[in-house]
């Protein structure tokens, strides 16, 4: 489902380098220099679990189809093709004769049904615009597996080498072009949508393929979280501020807990005690495993600090950080720091109370491909400041990333490639000169917002920033609990999209009149 030069990573999500690579190499997780750096976190929760997924998916009607894609769009080598899954709904589409628009969601790093179920805004827009809706799945995720199986596709660096943002965008461009041709809809305008990594793809696709789509809504899209474009501490500073604004004592308890966990892990029976306190299904290998698990929870809580109950990453209450801090702060006198932390983090990992024990290796949505992407082109540096962060202080060290990725995949990251391919430096002048029709929407509670575009660039490249918004909240379905500012944000987006379509139709009429 997007993750950001030295950068903070929010996203949506913050896993330690150990987290990202532990499933690939135990040697790397024991690397003595690991503590000095963190790898690009997943944008979506590694430990999130499907919650009412069947109900959510049945909420929206679509046909599931497959499209044959080239494995490599940028060479003429004879390589096997693969089947890309996409979801399509034409129920509200007014058809090619009336130039009905096509709303196209740029699939993220996971099963496409999951994103379709959590992007209600797009489904709700379809009848208002008479639009077709398409949700394509990102290559190497879900059922869109090259080489016929996940096992072969993920075998090594050679088979994974076609898992890139560039190839994914080419997939989308080819899919749109061929579908429009098959439907005699070549003149129908396409509007792109995407959240998180999908939002990054939507923005980049609008820039790379301006002839394919007339505009893009890029929600929570940290396209600036690369190289040294934003300070590397930004991500963790925003997460920390989200907790600090709820409770200073909660913030302080979390800040103090890391040393307590590390000390307990050094005791003779310490790992057994930590395993028991935090109810893991198997004994912890190290206290760092627990710290990574907690780091992830706090980061994802900041991302999905929605004003109403939701189950995007986990089933959570409204304003989940408030609930976490309430539990941390409300323990009776004498309650240990570790017990307070467990009570708080249980809001994220077990709010329903149905989980008997916790695993460290869950990947319910098939997102492990992000580990490869983070080790190749999605190089998003992280750091944590001693003064303003509730996380342990650390500096970004590229050497650690490079060594870990070599162990895990036998590849070395290319930290400057994304900004070379898509831009990022001097973004205002670049987009003002060469771009148009992009909405960058962000909520400032979302730690990934620190790596996104937060100021209007031109009359047609605009930002919609909400103080209390979280990770692509605007793309979620409308509810009767939506605050007024969220309703207004979505209406602003609708108005901008209407203007894009109006301009497109007027220009087309003018062209034919001439």
314 within 8 A of 51, measured Cβ to Cβ: yes
Handedness of CA 15, 16, 20, 22 (dihedral sign): negative
Backbone dihedral region of 140: left (phi > 0), alpha (psi from -120 to 50 degrees) or beta? left
CA dihedral 356, 359, 363, 368 (to 10 degrees): 170
277 within 8 A of 338, measured Cβ to Cβ: yes
- In total, the chain counts a number of residues equal to 514
The CA distance from 104 to 221, in Å, is: 16
Classify residue 430 by burial, with Cβ atoms within 10 Å: 0-12, 13-18, 19+.
Answer: middle
The CA distance from 342 to 350, in Å, is: 10
485 CB contacts (<8 Å, ≥6 apart)? 466, 467, 468, 469
> Which among 170, 181, 301, 168 has a CA at the least distance from the CA of 245?
301
Could you report how far apart the first and last alpha carbons of the chain are, in Å?
44
Q: Catalytic site residues?
A: 196, 446, 471
Per DSSP, the three-state class of 341 is: helix
Partners of 316 in the β-ladder? 310
Per-residue b/e over 115-138, b at no fewer than 16 CB within 10 Å?
Answer: bbbbbbbbbebbeebebbbbbbbb
The CA distance from 253 to 390, in Å, is: 9
145 within 8 A of 119, measured Cβ to Cβ: no
**Is residue 195 within a helix (H) or strand (E), and if so which, with residue range?**
strand 190-195
Q: Are strands 190-195 and 215-219 parallel, antiparallel or unpaired?
A: parallel
> Which among 182, 181, 175 has a CA at the least distance from the CA of 209?
175
Integer CA distances (angstroms), 13 to 296, 297, 418, in order? 7, 8, 20
Alpha helices (runs of H) in 410-483, residue ranges in sequence order: 417-422, 427-434
> Which among 53, 4, 10, 7 has a CA at the least distance from the CA of 470?
10
83 within 8 A of 153, measured Cβ to Cβ: no
């Amino acid at each position: 489902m997007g993750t950001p030069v030295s950068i903070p990573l929010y996203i949506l999500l913050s896993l330690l380098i150990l987290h990202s690579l532990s499933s690939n190499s135990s040697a790397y997780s024991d690397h003595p220099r690991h503590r000095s750096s963190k790898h690009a976190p997943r944008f979506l929760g590694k430990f999130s679990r499907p919650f009412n997924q069947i109900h959510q998916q049945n909420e929206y009607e679509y046909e599931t189809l497959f499209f044959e894609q080239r494995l490599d769009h940028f060479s003429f080598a004879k390589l096997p093709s693969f089947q890309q899954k996409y979801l399509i709904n034409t129920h509200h589409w007014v058809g090619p004769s009336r130039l009905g628009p096509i709303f196209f969601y740029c699939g993220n790093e996971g099963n496409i049904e999951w994103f379709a179920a959590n992007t209600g805004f797009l489904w709700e827009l379809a009848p208002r615009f008479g639009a077709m809706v398409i949700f394509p799945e990102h290559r190497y995720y879900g059922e869109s597996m090259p080489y016929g199986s996940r096992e072969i596709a993920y075998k090594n660096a050679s088979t994974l080498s076609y898992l890139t943002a560039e190839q994914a965008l080419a997939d989308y461009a080819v899919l749109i072009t061929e579908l429009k041709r098959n439907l005699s809809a070549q003149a129908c305008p396409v509007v792109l949508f995407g959240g998180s990594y999908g939002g990054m793809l939507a923005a980049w696709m609008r820039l790379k393929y301006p002839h394919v789509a007339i505009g893009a809504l890029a929600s929570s899209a940290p396209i600036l979280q690369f190289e040294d474009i934003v300070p590397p501490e930004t991500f963790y500073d925003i997460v920390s501020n989200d907790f600090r604004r709820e409770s200073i004592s909660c913030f302080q308890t979390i800040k103090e807990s890391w040393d307590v966990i590390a000390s307990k892990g050094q005791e003779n029976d310490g790992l057994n005690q930590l395993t028991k306190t935090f109810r893991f299904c198997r004994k912890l290998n190290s206290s760092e495993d627990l710290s990574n698990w907690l780091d992830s929870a706090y980061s994802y809580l900041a991302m999905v600090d929605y004003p109403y109950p939701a189950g995007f990453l986990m089933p959570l209450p409204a304003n989940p950080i408030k609930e976490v801090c309430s539990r941390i702060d409300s323990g009776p006198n004498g309650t240990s720091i570790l017990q307070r932390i467990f009570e708080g983090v249980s809001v994220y990992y077990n709010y329903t109370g149905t989980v008997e024990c916790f695993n460290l290796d869950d990947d319910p949505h098939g997102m492990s491909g992000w580990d490869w992407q983070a080790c190749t082109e999605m190089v998003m540096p992280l750091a944590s400041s001693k003064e303003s962060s509730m996380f342990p202080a650390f500096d970004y060290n590229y050497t650690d990333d490079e060594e870990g990725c070599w162990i895990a995949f036998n590849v070395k990251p290319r930290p400057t490639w994304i900004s070379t391919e898509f831009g990022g430096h001097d973004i205002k002048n670049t987009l003002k000169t060469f771009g148009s029709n992009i909405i960058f929407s962000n909520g400032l509670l979302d730690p990934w917002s620190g790596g996104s575009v937060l100021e209007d660039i031109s009359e047609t490249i605009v930002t919609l920033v909400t103080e209390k918004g979280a990770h692509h909240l605007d793309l979620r379905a409308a509810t009767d609990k939506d605050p007024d500012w969220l309703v207004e944000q979505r209406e602003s987006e609708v108005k901008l999209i209407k203007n894009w379509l109006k301009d497109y139709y007027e220009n087309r009429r003018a062209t034919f009149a001439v």
